[in-house]
Chain A
Amino acid sequence: MRKKPRFHSLKKLKIRQDWSRWSLYSIARLAQPNTISRTYFQQKWTAKSDTRAYHGEQIREKKWKRLFKRSLPAVVPMDHRYLARHDGSEQAAGRGAGVDEEGKKQTPRMTPYMQMTYYPIERRLDSAIFRSLFASSVRQARQFVVHGLVTVNGKKIPYPGYMLNPGDMFQVDTESVMFATGAQKIRSSVARKIAAEKKAARGDTSGSAPAPREPTIAELISQSTTTSETPSHTSLKTQLQTLMENVEDVLGTEVSAKDKQKFREFRQNVKKAISLWKTASPESVTTLDAQFTFLQDQLAAKRDPSSTQPADTSLSQDDAAKLKKAFERLKQQAEYDAQWNKRDASRPYLTPWRPRDFMSAFAFIPRYLEVNQNICAAVYLRHPVARPGLAEVPTPFPYETGQLAFNWYLRRR
């Protein structure tokens, strides 16, 4: 049997959809196709084989042939001021092709249709994941999908060939994204342990890293954040309760002795408000801001019937400030927790996290995707289009190669 060719071969340089140094090298070595000494068929064949090694290399040729479309999408940016002031008849003025204006002859830029040959592949779920920088190669993106780490509109879709529709939101597990895009771990934990033991045996203490210091905020409210998979009604409530318990710790140091009484009252009120939590529907209290306004409303409602003293209004303002502060703390803490890029041997990637080598050379997000990196989710806005001077399908090949590849698939059609 013939030996399967290498995926990254230096003998036959092929560009692959991944962030490897071989791909980078191949992109750097890429040249214009030889159109002088080769037949048209040879040129087309080479163009097809080179582009297919990059675009949808994981798809069988027959499947791609069925996906191929000869009509390629394009848009033209319009100026609304021009549209408002002209009705189009000026283009037929003069002798039928518009009145000549001296010096203002400006030919519109070419729309690179031929770089759009592979636009149907960009619609695939695995390609879209790779294009939104959630995986370091299409094959890895495909694996994420198959392993059930990807949801489309909140539903698990295990099909890498799922064709995204405009408006679909896909989400990848954040840990997997960090693993895919992060620098690789050099050694296993066992090997690192052995190395540490050896170092200890040698009595070498100079190289040991100082233990990372836990932040104070994280210590204070570490109990308040519990990772809950299901955003349920009760979990929100319990979370708020723990928060309120911690409010005392957080604010107790800052509150002077005179305010202690006020503060105790405030806590009781908050507790009452929390007990009223059930009246709220889970949709209305999903975000922190919503939670905050809900609590504020509840407090105000509590206070209104019993408002006998004028001091109460100022107190409620005080309370509101405190509550706001507590929520700010919670928010900060959540951010801090994630941002504090701590060393963690249990992670499958190198910690503290840093992007993998050569990632920056491949880091671009095409305009047909809108990505939120914080939650590792993206929305497929529309199909990729060509516009004057710009094609949205990311392809490393020159325009001539694109033309030849398009012509290869055009035949018999």
Chain B
Amino acid sequence: MPPRLHSPNLASALTSCTSAWSQCIAQPTRISREFSQTSCQQVTARRRRFYEWINGPGAALRQPLPGSTNYLGAYDRYGNLVRASPGYQRRSKDQPKTEGEESKPDDTEAKAEEEEAPSGQDTIDELEMAVRRDEESARKTKSKEDAQRLAPETAEDLRPFPQNKFFRSQRVLSEDLREAIYQRVTKDGVTVSLASVEFGVSNERVGAVVRLKQVEKEWVAQGKKLALPYAKAVLDMLPTTPYVDPSLPENKGKRPITHEAINDLIVHPATRQQLFVPVAESRQFTRVDAGKAFDNNLLPADDRIPHPELVLAEREMATGLSFEERRRLAEERLAAEQEKKRREEEARLAELRAQKVVPKRRWDFVFKDVSVEHAGKDGRGVKGVGWRYGMPHEDRKKGQVKIPTKVKA
């Protein structure tokens, strides 16, 4: 296509137009690049400002801050680290860091998070413990390096996007904590829910950590190369939850630091609306009734949270049962749960056994019992097998998505 030129007849047409039109096209004339299509080659004001920012305030973000996170929210608009003390100087990369500096931010940062995290687990004594730990370590490392040390991050400093007040970089599990969770679940044979309560890590995360650690150990056994430089660098950049090893003498009496809220209640869609239910004053309107008012199948929060056993245990304690009694009840519950799990496993195995498998060179043929009725009235039932006469497949039709919706683990 030819370059766009100022057509002379357009200009002439515009001269006859109203004054408002002529105002629109009144532009400063550019002498040098009248016919050029390339964008401006000179350094524009925008580009100059960009480089000014990148080499000025943005220069601090180029390299990671050793032993700390390095987000945009931690700096003011002139590129100064807000939480740094006046005498602070950024260390160069090769300079070794002291031990006090390494351990300090983790502990206090945990405390900071504890204060704002509305976790069901956070307790006053844990906070106290963290504070005491802080003071102790502060006393230990109170030395000439006071000015050099960075204060722990506040919620503000953990904001990668300063404009978004509702997002912050949350802590991830440290390498030690992952190993500890893996050992607790595999070696000690602790159930996932118990490990979750012990470490203050959600159920799903415990499962994921064990699964990933298992793969990692297999890699080590196979002699595969791990991405250790990458892992080290990334974990150094992120805020992490440290592991409080209870076997060490200096950690005696310390509780593990809660990583996240473990009793999250999912907001049920039925509860999104506002309801006005007239109730007699004399009536005891409890959570169960409230659930029924929203939806007949909606269970109360006590049963919908991931750890209902904690509520049961707490309730028994509140009713004043003796320790022996409570223990007996807990064991009964555990036995019932295991029995249920065993039955499910048996049913699964029985189903597997019922299948007839014929191994072949490349694929195994699996024979299952199916019913013709599964195809349904229109022959397109999800469970239906095979092809029905007169019912063409839809998979070649326009708009049929072929991306799998699930991958079996």
Contact = CB atoms under 8 A, between A and B. Distances in A.
Interface of A: 1, 10-11, 21-22, 24-25, 27-28, 30-32, 71, 73-81, 83-85, 87-89, 92, 109, 112, 115, 133, 152-155, 157, 159, 161-163, 165-169, 171, 174, 177-178, 181-182, 224-228, 231, 235-236, 239, 285-291, 331, 334-335, 337-339, 341, 352-355, 357-367, 370-379, 381-382, 385, 387-399
Interface stretch (B83-91, B232-240, B381-389): B232-240
B221 A287 contact: yes
Interface stretch (B61-69, B104-112, B128-136, B138-146): B61-69
Contact of B212 (A225, A366, A372): A372
B406 interface: yes
Interface residues of B, number: 104
Interface stretch (B16-24, B310-318, B355-363): B310-318
Contacts of B46: 10-11
A338 B58 contact: no
Contacts of A84: 310-312, 314-315, 317-318
B217 A288 contact: yes
B338 to A, nearest CB: 22
B305 A78 contact: yes
B204 A399 contact: no
B196 interface: no
A253 to B, nearest CB: 23
A174 to B, nearest CB: 4
A406 B69 CA distance: 31
Nearest to A292: B221
B219 interface: yes
Interface of B: 1, 44, 46-47, 50, 53-54, 57-58, 61-65, 69-72, 116, 118-120, 160-170, 172-173, 178, 202, 204-205, 207-209, 211-235, 237-238, 260-261, 263-267, 269, 272, 279, 284-288, 290, 300-302, 305, 307, 310-312, 314-315, 317-318, 403-409
Nearest to B225: A338
16 contacts: A27-B163, A76-B267, A84-B311, A88-B287, A115-B164, A162-B404, A225-B223, A286-B214, A286-B217, A339-B229, A355-B64, A364-B169, A373-B234, A379-B204, A398-B163, A398-B165
A1 B224 contact: no
Given A75-B265, A398-B164, A360 B65 contact: yes
A79 B208 contact: no
B264 A375 contact: no
A161 B223 CA distance: 33
Nearest to A339: B228
A367 B170 contact: yes
A80 B170 CA distance: 23
B284 to A, nearest CB: 5
Contacts of B178: 372
Contacts of B166: 112, 115, 389-391, 399
Contact of B204 (A85, A375, A381): A381
Given A80-B305, A85-B314, A355-B237, A391 B167 contact: yes
A74 B228 CA distance: 36
A375 B403 contact: no
Nearest to B217: A287
B120 A80 contact: yes
Given A78-B265, A395-B161, 6 more contacts: A77-B264, A178-B230, A224-B223, A231-B221, A363-B69, A371-B172
Contacts of A22: 50
Contact of B403 (A30, A133, A161): A161
A338 B228 contact: yes
A366 B407 contact: no
